[in-house]
Every structure is written in C-alpha cells, then in structure tokens.
A = this chain, B = another copy of it.
Amino acid sequence: MLSTMQDVPLTVTRILMHGMTIHGTSQVTTWTGEAEPQRRSYREIGERSAQLAHALKDELGVRPDDRVATLMWNNAEHVEAYFAIPCMGSILHTLNLRLPAEQLAWIVGHAADKVVIVNGSLLPLLAPLLPHLSSVEHVVVSGPGDRSLLDGATPRVHEYEELLTGRPTRYDWPELDERAAAAMCYTSGTTGDPKGVVYSHRSIYLHSMQVNMSQSMGLTDADTSLVVVPQFHVNAWGLPHATLMTGVNMLMPDRFLQPGPLAEMIEAERPTHAAAVPTIWQGLAAELAAKPRDVSSLTQVTIGGSACPPSLMAEFDRLGMRVCHAWGMTETSPLGTIARPPAHAVGTDEEMAYRLTQGRFPSGVEARLAGPGGEYLPWDGTSAGELEVRGPWIAGAYYGGADGEPVRPDDKFSADGWLKTGDVGVITPDGFLTLTDRAKDVIKSGGEWISSVELENALMSHPDVAEAAVVAVPDEKWGERPLAAVVLKEGATAGFGALREFLAGSVAKWQLPERWALIESVPKTSVGKFDKKVLRRQYAEGGLDVTTL
C-alpha cells in the first residue's frame, strides 16, 4: 500500500537553503594569522556558493557530474565549495594534501578532475604536479600565496574572488535525485592503489542528521565548533554539513594548525567544541602546559582517527575539556560509533571504561563481528571478530573510474553488501565497540584470533622494553603463530624467557609467542605507524635472527 507522504529528496541543497535562511546569522570564522579573523555569515556563505556555482558553470564550463577538486585548508571558501559543487549537480572531490605527490596525481587522474580549487599557500605542492594532471583544465586560486609558481601552467588559472565578483547571489539549484553522487574522497590505503568513496546527497544528509542527534555530537546554535579535522579528511567528519543544519558556528584554523595558533584562537574565539585526531591534542596539551591560556570555553572535544591515550583523556578532563571518542573511516562518512557512556554508568567507576571504548553504534549503523571461520559472533564483550557494518552512509563499493562500474573487492565487502572494516574488535551486549587489532595484523592461530596489539602493549609495559612488534608468521600446525620482535632499552638485559614469563601474567598461555627476535628499531610507515609487513617480509626472507623458546 502506498503512503500519502510527499516524496522530497534528501539533498545537500536542502541543507544549504536551511542554513542560509533559518540560521543565516550563524558564522564561519576563519583564522588568518592577522589581528582580525575573517567572518562570514551562513547567509553570505550561501550567496557566495551561488556565485561560485555560476562561475563554475558559465566561466569554467563545469557540467553535472564533472568532478571539481579542492586542495584546501579548512576555511570559508572551502565551505563554499562544499555546497556550490554538489548543489549544482557536480561532484566535490577533496584532495588530501598530506599524500605523496605521486599518489595525489594518480587520484586526480582516476577521478578525472576537471577543475582544482587550491589555496595559494598550497601552490608549492600543486604547481610541480600540474604537468602530470592531464584532466585538469582549470586551476582556481584562493587566499595568499605566490601565484608566480603557476607561470607557464597548462590549465587556465583563475582568481577565486575575481571569479565570484559581480555574479548573481542566487542560483536556480536543480532538483537532484537523493542517490546522485555529491562528493568523493579517496582512502589512503597502505596497500594497493587508493580507493574512491563516492558519497550521495542522501548519505550526506542522513549522516548530518545523525551527527546532530542528541546521542552523537548534538551541538546547537549556542555552540561554536573548532574544526581542526581537515575538510579533506572524510568531509571533516561531516561537520560543515551538520553545522548548517542546526546553526552551529564554525571556527576554521586554515593553515594555522600548530599548537601555538590553536591555543591562541581558542582563547580569542571561545569555541565550545573541537574535533581532531589525538596528535593535535597532544601538542595542544603540551602548549598549554608551557604557556597557560584561557581555554575554558572549550568543554567538548571529539577525538577520532585513532584511540586517545587514557593519560591524554585524563589530562583534558583536568582542563575541563571532556573528550568523546568516535570511530569511523572514509568508507563510513565517517560516523561509525561514538563513545557517550550510557546514562547508568555516568558518575560511576564504569564511566571511564565506556569512554575508552570506540563507542556505541548510532541508530543508522548496523554492526556484526565475523569470526575466524566466517561465522558471526555474539556481542558478549569477549568474542573478537572483524567488524562489518551496514547503513545508509556506509560505502557498498568503490569508484571504478570514469568509464568503469563500481568495484566491490571480496576482502572489502561481504556477499550481502556489508562493509568489511578491516578492524578486529569486540562488542558488549549494549553495543559498545572496542577495537583490538587490524584484521591484517591479527594472528589466526588454530581457529582463534590473537591480537598483535594486545601482545605488543603487554610487552611494552616491561621496564626493559623500548618497543615491540608482534606479527603473524606461518606455522605448520596452527596456521599462524605470533613472532615477537623486541627493541630493548639501552643497557637492558632481559632475556626472551623472562619476557615470555612476564607476558604470561597478562595473556592466555596459548597466545604466548614461541618465536622471538631482537631488532634495533620497529620499521615505521610514513605516518609513524608500525609497518608490520616489512617485519613479515624480513622473517620470510630469513632476515631476522629468530630464537624459538
């Protein structure tokens, strides 16, 4: 039977129109490093988005479905691009300015970006790449920076502000299908080529609602959010969309991401909320310890990207900034879990335990744990499996390129369409997730899983151990077994036997490694994570001096 409800599409355009009317006086404040930051109301953001859309269409020939890339910091112009491009029916492609140059070039080519909007300060990154970006017809430059770097560039070069000047501040936005593509973002996978996730208008709209729900971030127009998490990083966790839906003000740091300026802008602009990865907060905590400032406005801090060390959480609690963990990935838009403790735990000893989990699944995210044999495991807080998720803002495929169908690799998507996150963890009966390892690092021993991270943490708590990495190595009887590669502190003398005995105090006996190796340092990736595939290769090639206990 048919319902009698209106069929109204959920689109980014609807978010923009709401934000610029109902919340027209809320503001985006962008730090400039000068005495006065740049301030722009949501009404102005909306009007300038219309001007940008007119310019892209009439001056640059951008058509529906064309990809327009941004290589930008967090600032008002980037917010304008966030709305102008999807609302005109084209696709916003945010480029990660931390990626190696060759990966960036590959991504721009795969997405076939027609236009790149770039901050002037990032021209030293873009200019040398341009000869390799054959799809790019136009470069639009915004903000300070040396334009001469673009001398002789093949694409046409435009000034952002000149493009907007004099154009109509209204645009007859098309009525779009809510399932149409709105934005795309590539994962920076450590193996293989980057993968493109293409968000729909629907996925962005629903994710924004969820972010604004009371059990998620739940900010209001009384809040100002300091958006440190980059706009090229999974849509800045959805904040630029979510804020326009509820009139939350945004404070944008632009390129001023060092602890000093961050502390300064918090004191000056008094945000109530901030969102960033833990390393940013570690720097800020050190800065505040060295040079105290009035940061009392900031009471809520959302931390994602990786787990927040308990010591850092405690330190921020002392500063009056309450940290809330969230977990997600490019493929999950990103809100996958958020660690608001349940009401019954607030004020009890349990509270911190809940806050240290990755958090609870919101209503739009379904979750299950796939065990070593592919069976689904109970939510009992102890059964560890690979996390699989489903929901209207979760990817079900990757972008296949301009002429290709979307791709669904078996190791990333289940046969029934769920996303395999590659994360291994446990879930409590009330839906709190704790991640224990990456699926590729977990040791699959005799039908059970051993967490490499747990063994490493246990080992590194030994006073003689500087660093330790545990990797899976092939084993005839058990399939895989753990190998412990240990870096001792200078002058330390602990033997493998003593270390194994020490480990036995915190993990089950069958999880104890038989194979041990002393190494000088643990190999690391460019972002400082343990690079375990290097260790596995060294082992396979006989490059490690292994003792078997």
Give A contacts to B, CB under 8 Å: 1-8, 10, 14-15, 17-18, 21-25, 65, 91, 179-182, 196-200, 202-203, 206, 209-210, 212-215, 218-222, 245-247, 340, 342-344, 346, 360-361, 363-364, 366, 379, 390-399, 406, 417-419, 429-431
Contacts and interface: CB of A to CB of B under 8 A. Distances in A.
Given A209-B209, A218-B218, A396 B4 contact: yes
A7 B209 contact: no
B213 A390 contact: no
Given A2-B180, A6-B417, 9 more contacts: A2-B179, A6-B392, A6-B395, A7-B392, A8-B391, A14-B366, A17-B366, A209-B210, A222-B346
A5 B363 contact: no
Nearest to A210: B209
B215 A214 contact: no
B218 A214 contact: yes
A149 B86 CA distance: 62
Given A18-B363, A218-B218, A222-B343, A5 B213 contact: no
B342 A247 contact: yes
Contact of A343 (B6, B182, B210, B220): B220
Given A221-B215, A346-B222, A203 B3 contact: yes
B247 A200 contact: no
B393 A430 contact: no
10 contacts: A1-B198, A6-B392, A6-B395, A6-B417, A7-B179, A14-B366, A17-B366, A22-B363, A218-B220, A246-B363
A66 to B, nearest CB: 9
Contacts of A209: 206, 209-210, 213, 363
A334 to B, nearest CB: 13
4 shortest A-B CB distances, which residue pairs? A3-B200, A6-B396, A22-B431, A222-B343
Contact of A5 (B202, B212, B430): B202
Contacts of A220: 214-215, 218, 340, 343
B214 A219 contact: yes
Contacts of A199: 3, 5
A83 to B, nearest CB: 14
A5 B397 CA distance: 7
B5 A394 contact: yes
A203 B209 CA distance: 14
B5 A396 contact: yes
Contacts of A180: 1-3
A379 B21 CA distance: 10
A282 to B, nearest CB: 29
A246 B360 CA distance: 11
A342 B221 CA distance: 7
A348 to B, nearest CB: 13
A275 to B, nearest CB: 15
Contacts of A5: 198-200, 202-203, 392-396
Contacts of A24: 429-430
B396 A7 contact: yes
Nearest to A43: B429
Contacts of A393: 5
Contacts of A397: 4
Contacts of A7: 179, 392, 396
Contacts of A91: 1
Contacts of A8: 366, 390-392, 394
B203 A343 contact: no
Contacts of A210: 209
A403 to B, nearest CB: 12
A360 B3 contact: no
A270 to B, nearest CB: 13
A30 to B, nearest CB: 20
Contacts of A399: 4
A247 B220 CA distance: 20
A499 to B, nearest CB: 40
A215 B212 contact: yes
Contacts of A181: 1-3
Contacts of A200: 3, 5
A355 to B, nearest CB: 15
Contact of A15 (B340, B363, B391, B392): B363
Q: Which of A14, A24, A214, A396: most chain B Cβ within 10 A?
A: A214
